[in-house]
Amino acid sequence: MNFSAHNLTLTPNRIFCIGKNYSKHIKELGGTQAPTEPVVFMKTACNIVAPGETLHRPSYGNELHHEVEVVLLIGKEGKNILKADALSYISAITLGLDLTLRDIQKKLKKAGLPWELSKSFEQSAPLGIFKNYFPNKIDLKNLPFSCSVNGSLRQKGNTREMIFPIENLIQTLSCWWTLRPGDIIFTGTPAGVASLQSGDKIEVESPSIGLFSWTLA
């Protein structure tokens, strides 16, 4: 796969995804309690889709949801990273979509099964162009971002609303895995997730990062 369209100087390694990191999103899906530690699942690098490419609905599942997220690129190796040092491990940031087959996810949850079929299908990780991260230019503690479908605003969030801030996510992940250059972290989605239909144009945007779009066939 050619990742040049993503402005990546590092080959994507693992994709870590964080679930249930915004309280209002938990509530909109029927949840009542925030997790006590980050909820982690994974996608594979082959799920990445560059901006402007056409998305195709999986052959199974009927309810395809958009979930806009701030996405981090890890630039150096780290294990048991201190919270105070966490941001120094980020080399670049962008926005992405954690596409989810909600009906399939509900069935899997009910059966107590893993989420892969609902989260890690083909083209499930549309990813914007990465922008080099400079702490004095981008405030990851107060970063607004949004998702619109056919010009209508669906999701509006800010990283300050995270249950587990970015420093905490990096610290926790590095206690469970050795983070390596090329690792990608989807940091969770705010409220407003909804179904996508054929022909929909999905746009994700942040003033500090840019605007990226995809169309669903």
* Count of the separate structural domains present in the chain: 1
Domain range for 114 is 4-216
Q: Amino acid identity, residue 108? A: L
Task: Return the pLDDT at 3.
Answer: 57
pTM: 0.95
The pLDDT tens digits for 113-165 are 999 999 999 999 999 999 999 988 999 999 999 999 999 999 999 999 999 99
The pLDDT tens digits for 20-73 are 999 999 999 898 889 999 999 999 999 999 999 999 999 999 999 999 999 999
The CATH number that applies at residue 154 is 3.90.850.10
Separation of alpha carbons 133 and 186, rounded Å: 15
Q: What is the DSSP letter of 46?
A: G
